[in-house]
Structure 1
Amino acid sequence: MNNQNHSYYLIIDLEATCCDRGTVPRQEMEIIEIGAVMLNGNTWEIDSEFQQFIQPVRNPQLTPFCTNLTSIQQQDIETAPKFIEAIANLKEWTSSFPNNIFCSWGNYDKSQFIQDCKYHHLPYPFSAEHINIKEEFSKYLGVSKRFGMAQALEYLGMELKGTHHRGIDDARNIAAIYRYMLTQKRS
């Protein structure tokens, strides 16, 4: 892994509107939570955290499936800022951390940002460079299998902390996996 030339790793996990019956097409899913941590590339500690609920505009009513999966309640998003304001808040927060690179577990988060930015006519808020930690984890282990985040934690003997499918908790857990990968020698 040649990722040690960044001062900060901006690890983001998104939650989005979803359903179990296909009533919300993939291209209409909207971000409802940004969970982000700034992992310091020198100390491997989390220097700062960002959590923001977002009010969806296409499908403003969360489905029971979405609420059960994410634990995000309707009242959490009803008074939350809309996407444009949330992205402004995120950009303001990240501006305090020079030389950061956007990382996520898989490519879903990057794709969802691109989709929502296009819908809201906003420029994509990150550089083109992105680290797919899910892919890096498989390379780290020398396997082709792709692990889910919870499976990766279990494989490493680490406890899943917080609530799975909550952006901020998953971002913290992904940071723990990435810290392990970048600081522990493979046996």
Structure 2
Amino acid sequence: MGHWLVIDLEATTDEGGWPLEEMEIIEIGASLVGADGHERDHFQRFVKPQRRPCLTDFCRELTHIAQADVDGAGSLPQVWAQLERWLEQHAPRLVGWSSWGDYDRRQLEQEWRQHQLTSLLQGTPHLNLKQAFAKARQLPRPVGLHSALQLAGLQFQGAQHRALTDARNTARLLPLVLPLKD
């Protein structure tokens, strides 16, 4: 029985948003989900941004991540090494990884290149769950995570715009899209 890894990132930003190239990961949340859609394990860490170490007021209000959270965190290379060590124990059963939309995959790939990092995920299939959900539900266009949960008859659980909470809520939609059974 295979597992899926659902990843959500929080990143530096300001009102109106920043281009992807200017954003930096400040929190990683990952939920490892079994074939039944239930969490088997999880990973959460804050990351200290290098280029713009001071979070904007907008970013702090949106994510509820305090400046002290990122000030006391490791750099992305340090945190990514921790995630990879955590992931190694699950790698033999990992079928794929998923995120809500394509932003998280693109942000990770950009930062892997910038920091010259390698990852077990680089050879693992990625599923854009936002697109897959829209297709499975025959929606005219993809919807946000909140709307998708409502369409599925589920309530968002926990605080929005926190990486692990968002990853866990995203993971709840996986069984509705994937034939997760063997």
Question: TM over 0.5: same fold?
Answer: yes
Matching of residue 157 in structure 1 with residue 153 in structure 2:
yes
Greater length-normalized contact order (CA 8 Å, ≥ 6 residues apart):
2
Tell me how far 1:176 sits from its aligned partner. 0.8
Residues 87 and 125, structure 1, Cα contact 8 Å, conserved in 2 = no
Matching of residue 115 in structure 1 with residue 110 in structure 2:
yes
One-letter identity of the residue aligned with 1:13: D
Q: Distance in 2 between matches of 1:125 and 1:59?
A: 28
Tell me how far 1:21 sits from its aligned partner. 4.9
Q: Percent identity?
A: 37
Q: Distance in 1 between matches of 2:119 and 2:178?
A: 28
Tell me how far 1:44 sits from its aligned partner. 2.6
Within the candidate set 14, 20, 43, 1:26 is matched to 20
Render the CA deviation track for 1:57-91: whole Å, top value 9, x for unaligned: 01100000101111111011101111001111111
Tell me how far 1:47 sits from its aligned partner. 0.3
Match of 1:133 in 2: 129
Render the CA deviation track for 1:132-178: whole Å, top value 9, x for unaligned: 10011011102231111011011112110111110000001001111
One-letter identity of the residue aligned with 2:112: C
Residues 37 and 174, structure 2, Cα contact 8 Å, conserved in 1 = no
One-letter identity of the residue aligned with 2:161: H
Matches within 5 A, 1:1-20: 7-20=2-15
Matches within 5 A, 1:32-181: 32-41=26-35, 43-97=36-90, 98-100=92-94, 101-126=96-121, 127=123, 129-181=125-177
* Runs of 4+ in structure 1 over 2 Å off: 179-184
Q: Which runs of 5+ in 2 are unaligned?
A: none
Q: Which runs of 5+ in 1 are unaligned?
A: 1-5
RMSD: 1.8
